[in-house]
Structure formats: structure tokens, C-alpha cells
């Protein structure tokens, strides 16, 4: 079912102690501001580094609507993959979510659409909710190829799923030129792409599935601009990088639905 979501991507930041501190501050915020009483009744997900995952998952377990997630998983269930972490391990750590296809994974770690399709499959098999990231680089937008790029990412990464499995996925549209740059897509640009994404989901899976899909915006979303972005009809919340590292900013973003 379509839901408003604010997700924090901590990336490779924070020591274990700092991570515990941040999750406990967010937990305090949620205790004082029950999510079901806030506008939009958002769910909140903390995508932590693996080192933090089990402790954050345990910390937020009793907080209604607050969940933990991993930033990546391996394509295989288990085996001789030194340094890697499987979807099954993430599930066993008490986390229910996993980011798939963040642009930093695509560009720095060479993750292809085919690899991301496998990661999505193994995540679903292990009862994790994939948050699948898509988005164009600046050259692609300047060349007016952005719709085609995003369409291809979704077709290869997700559109082979059954309708039942597709309904478990959350999509994050993250224009690469906006990630960590301080340049945000305008609310109009975000809405235009989100509406397009919903339209191609409708073509593939039908109007009801499209209507029920949560599509988040990510890319320099912060406490100042979240409200305007989240006010757009097809923007169901945000995937937040830098601004998720400060409890005060992240809390303001959680309250930014109208």
C-alpha cells in the first residue's frame, strides 16, 4: 500500500557510538511525536552501515513505524564472498529493508542493472523490502535522456517481478546530479519524473499497483526544502543522505508532509 516514507541513508558515516546516539535521538523524537499522529503518517527507515545494523534494529524495534535497513546486500545467499553481507544476514540482524542500486553502488562498485535485479530477487526471497534507486546523471538530463535512462533502470531492475513482488518494492528517484551536491531537483522536476515513473508502472502493472507504489525523492533534500518537495502529488517522501545525520534536521524532514 502506498505510504509516505522518510528514509535516512547514513552512507559510510558515524562510529558505532555516534550511530547509537543518532538512532536514540530519532527514537526519542518518535516517542514524543508518534508517527501515526503526524501529517502523512510517515514511516521512517534508517539505512545504516552494517556495523550499526543489529544495534539500531534492536533499538528501534519497539518504536511504531521506525525501522532499520541495510545499504546493500550481496546477490548470493551465502558462501565464499569475503567481506560481503547477505540478505539473510540482514534479516537475521532484525532489519526489514535494504537499499538496492544507490548511484554510489552503481558508479563506484560497478553494479549493473543485471546485478541489481539479482539483489532485488534475493532481498525479496529473504523478506526484505527493497528500496530501489534510480536516476540519471547530469549529461543524461542535459541531453534530455533522463526519462529513457530511468525507464531502462526500472525495466531491467524491477519490471520482471511478479505484480505481487513488485508491490513490496519502494522506489527512490535520485537524480545523480543532486546527490550530495547541494543542488536539489525543483519540486516541478521531481513531480514530473515521479509522475512519469508512476505512468510506466501503470503500463506494466496497471493503475492500482501504480497508485499504491511509494516513490521517494532523493538528492540534497533537507529541512528547508522537504516541505515543498513532499507537497507534490507523486512525491511520497524522501531518501535523505547528509541531512539524515543530524537528528534535528531529520526530524524536521519527518514533519514536512502537508
Q: Which residues bind ligand PEP (CB under 6 A)?
A: 9, 174, 179-180, 218-221, 239-243
Could you write out the DSSP letters of every residue in 150-192? HHHHHHHHTTTS-HHHHTT-EEEE--GGGTTTS----HHHHHH
Cβ 226 to ligand PEP, closest distance in Å?
A: 10
Nearer to ligand PEP, 157 or 205 (CB): 157
Nearer to ligand PEP, 205 or 257 (CB): 257
Q: What is the DSSP letter of 223?
A: T
Q: What is the DSSP letter of 42?
A: -
Cβ 242 to ligand PEP, closest distance in Å?
A: 4
Nearer to ligand PEP, 40 or 135 (CB): 135
Query: Residue 66 is placed in which grid cell?
Result: 521506525
Q: How far is CA 90 from CA 85, 94, 98, 255, in A?
A: 7, 7, 8, 28
Q: What is the DSSP letter of 40?
A: T
Cβ 42 to ligand PEP, closest distance in Å?
A: 17
Catalytic residues: 102, 174
Nearer to ligand PEP, 187 or 204 (CB): 187
Q: Which residue is nearest to ligand PEP, using beta carbons?
A: 241
C-alpha 60: how far from chain center:
18
Nearer to ligand PEP, 49 or 219 (CB): 219
Cβ 52 to ligand PEP, closest distance in Å?
A: 16
Other beta carbons within 10 angstroms of residue 28's beta carbon come to 13
C-alpha 64: how far from chain center:
19
Q: What is the DSSP letter of 4?
A: -
Query: Where do the H-state alpha helices sit in the chain?
Result: 16-32, 50-60, 87-92, 103-108, 113-125, 138-142, 146-157, 163-166, 187-205, 207-212, 226-230, 247-254
Cβ 207 to ligand PEP, closest distance in Å?
A: 29
Nearer to ligand PEP, 14 or 221 (CB): 221
C-alpha span between 216 and 172 (Å, rounded) = 5
Query: Residue 24 is placed in which grid cell?
Result: 536514540
Cβ 180 to ligand PEP, closest distance in Å?
A: 4
Amino acid at each position: 500500500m502506498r505510504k509516505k516514507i522518510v528514509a535516512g541513508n547514513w552512507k559510510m558515516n558515524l562510529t558505532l557510538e555516534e550511530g547509537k546516539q543518532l538512532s536514540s535521538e530519532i527514537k526519542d523524537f518518535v516517542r514524543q511525536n508518534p508517527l501515526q499522529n503526524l501529517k502523512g503518517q510517515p514511516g521512517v527507515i534508517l539505512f545504516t552501515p552494517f556495523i550499526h545494523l543489529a544495534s539500531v534494529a534492536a533499538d528501534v524495534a519497539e518504536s511504531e513505524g521506525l525501522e532499520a535497513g541495510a545499504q546493500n546486500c550481496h546477490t548470493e545467499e551465502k558462501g565464499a564472498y569475503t567481506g560481503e553481507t547477505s540478505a539473510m544476514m540482514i534479516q537475521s540482524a532484525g532489519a526489514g529493508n535494504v537499499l538496492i542500486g544507490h548511484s554510489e553502488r552503481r558508479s563506484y562498485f560497478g553494479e549493473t542493472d543485471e546485478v541489481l535485479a539479482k539483489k532485488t530477487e534475493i532481498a525479496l526471497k529473504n523478506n526484505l523490502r527493497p528500496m530501489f534507486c534510480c536516476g540519471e546523471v547530469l549529461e543524461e538530463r542535459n541531453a534530455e535522456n533522463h526519462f529513457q535512462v530511468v525507464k531502462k533502470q526500472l525495466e531491467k531492475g524491477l519490471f520482471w517481478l511478479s505484480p505481487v513482488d513488485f508491490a513490496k518494492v519502494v522506489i527512490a528517484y535520485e537524480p545523480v546530479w543532486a546527490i550530495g551536491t547541494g543542488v536539489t531537483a525543483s519540486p516541478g522536476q521531481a513531480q514530473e519524473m515521479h509522475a512519469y515513473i508512476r505512468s510506466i508502472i501503470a503500463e506494466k502493472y496497471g493503475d492500482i499497483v501504480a497508485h499504491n507504489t511509494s516513490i521517494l525523492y532523493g538528492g540534497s533534500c533537507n529541512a528547508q526544502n522537504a516541505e515543498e518537495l513532499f507537497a507534490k502529488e507523486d512525491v511520497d517522501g524522501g531518501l535523505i543522505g547528509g541531512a539524515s545525520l543530524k537528528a534535528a534536521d531529520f526530524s524536521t524532514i519527518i514533519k514536512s508532509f502537508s
